Every structure is written in structure tokens, then in C-alpha cells.
A = this chain, B = another copy of it.
Amino acid sequence: MVRMADVARAAGVSVMTVSNVLNERVPVGEPTRSRVMAAVEALGYEVNLTARHLRAGRTDTVAFVAPSFHDYFSELADEIAPLVEAEGRHLVLERTSANAEQEIEALSVARLQIYDGVLLSVAGLDLEPLERVRTSKPIVLLGEREVPERFDHVRLANESGARLATAHMIERGSRRIVALGCSSGSAHAMTTDRRVGWEDAHREAGLEADPAYVVPVSDYTSHAGREAMLEVIASGLPVDGVFAVTDVVALGALSALADSGLRVPDDVQLAGFDNLDMSRFVPPGITSVDVNHKGVAQAAVELLHRQMSGWTGPAEHVVAPVRLVVRGSTRGGA
């Protein structure tokens, strides 16, 4: 390992001058500068970021922590990265995945300290450990649940999105719309918020939202969506529309409908949530609630930058607007 001292010796200057050259902090004379750079090249020197961090107290690195980087989160990460990099920082991704409960405790509390800021998705996370997080690190929460007031938070307009999608299908003739993957509880969470939107759409149309049409899924995978949809079909419950809690779940439903000989959208209309890239291309195109990744990313990164700049005002809770993208899986789409 070649250290700064080695470069300094080779260039015949002090360690501090090497540091100054590399960090461009103070003006350095041109002849000195080029001698230093030559030595850097010759020795193949690379700064030790750990030492820099320990001394300087910053890593120029932001972490985006999410359960995994499938689908929604990878698309969001793609939007976040350039915004973070525009400020001269790096973005790294960390997964909470499997053992979320322990993770946030073991991983984050100590681990998050190594970042200048953290974007933390609260999906599938126990919030209790969060309450105890007493770090002064800049941190912005992302995701569809209630979080402690003191955190900056960006979430989607879940009710509104679900209402748009459901109302659209009602308008196009559906009267028996399954809320697939939604839940009946009252806690403020994605699956209940979206169920509320589904109910609102019914109420606004003067229809009754039958609780029998709220069908949970075991997890938010296409497989689970498919299984749940197959059960609904097998049960004989009359269905002429499906609002799926996510596009991934909607894809599972589409698979189940196809295998059951039900035509989309002729027999059953289908709408999802997230507007994944995939949804444009899966025939006949899945109508979906676009969650405006770019807007979410901008809001979150802006809040984070504000914190990293030393802002200490009250936390902000942003609700990002959504819009409906109509495609072939509902009538009126292409």
C-alpha cells in the first residue's frame, strides 16, 4: 500500500502539500503541483478514503436502504442516483431484505453513521427500532406508512391513486372489482390506504364496496398475486375488475386470468400500481398508477440535502402526487 507520505517523499514535498494538491483546497504552485501529480501517477497512489473519513468526518456517500432492489426500488434508485451524484456524492444501495427486524438495529444504527446521509425505505421494516434511532445523521424516510413525526418523510398519494384506478374501471363498466392485495385493517399502511381509495371510488360512484372483494395476498410477488386470483376465480365470486395493489401483483393476476380463460379487458378489467417499465410491454399493457419516481426522488433528495446543509427546522412530510396511465388492460386503453 502506497501512502501519502510515500508520494510526498517521491515529490520532495511535505505530506500536507500532497493533500492540498489532491483536494484542491488551497492554491498550490504549478511546478509543485505537477511534481506531486507525477509522483502520484508513478506510484499509483490512491487516497485512503477511510482515513480521510475518520479525519474529515465525511464520506461524500449517501445510502439508499431498501428491502431489495427489484422493480420499484431499482427504478427509484435510477432516479435518485443522478441527483445525489450531482452534488458530488456517491450513492450506495443497502438491502434490509430477509431479517429486517434485526437489520435496522444491527446494521443501521452503527452502520448508517458511515454515510453522510441516508434514504431509508420503511417498507417491511419494524418502526419500533426507528423510534430509538437517536442519530443526528441526515435521514429521510420513504414509504407508505406512518412514521415518527420527527423524520422527513416522502410517501405516495396512495388513496388518490387507488381511487383513480378504481373509478376508471367503474366508469368503463366494472361493478365487481377485486381489491387484490389490499387489507382491511385500519392502520395507516400502503395496503389499507389503497383499499380506502378503492372504497372511495365506489362511494363516489354511488356503489357499495363489498368487503368480500378485499382479497389479501401472502406477499407482494406475482406468484402470490396469481395464487390469490386463482382462488378468487375458483370460489365462484363474480368478478369483472381487479385493482391490484402493485404491478407485480397485477402481473400475477393477469397470469391467473389468462389461464382461466378470462379475457382482459373484455371479461375482466385490470389495473395495477407503480407503473413499472414492464407494465407498458406486457400485452395488452397494464393500466397502472404512475408513482412519479422522478418526483419522489427529487423530493427525498432535496430534503436530504437540506439536512446535510445543516437545516434543523421541523420535519416535512411530503405526499407525492400520482396519476393514472391507461393501457389495454382496461377498456378505453389502446
Contacts and interface: CB of A to CB of B under 8 A. Distances in A.
Given A81-B95, A93-B94, A97-B81, A114 B283 contact: no
Interface string A79-119: 00110000000111111011000000001011101100000
B78 A74 contact: no
Contact of A111 (B49, B74, B78, B82): B49
A221 B51 contact: no
A71 B277 CA distance: 11
Interface stretch (A4-12, A40-48, A205-213): A40-48
B281 A251 contact: yes
Interface residues of A, number: 55
Interface stretch (A25-33, A235-243, A252-260): A252-260
A107 B92 contact: no
A234 interface: no
B49 A282 contact: no
A93 B75 CA distance: 15
A47 B251 CA distance: 44
Contacts of A255: 280-283, 285
A292 interface: no
A284 B91 CA distance: 38
A188 interface: no
A14 interface: no
A46 B110 contact: yes
A46 B223 CA distance: 40
Nearest to A226: B281
B90 A49 contact: no
B284 A258 contact: yes
A252 B93 CA distance: 28
Contacts of A214: none
Nearest to A57: B50
Contact of A70 (B53, B74, B93): B74
A110 B90 CA distance: 13
A13 interface: no
A233 B93 CA distance: 41
A270 to B, nearest CB: 12
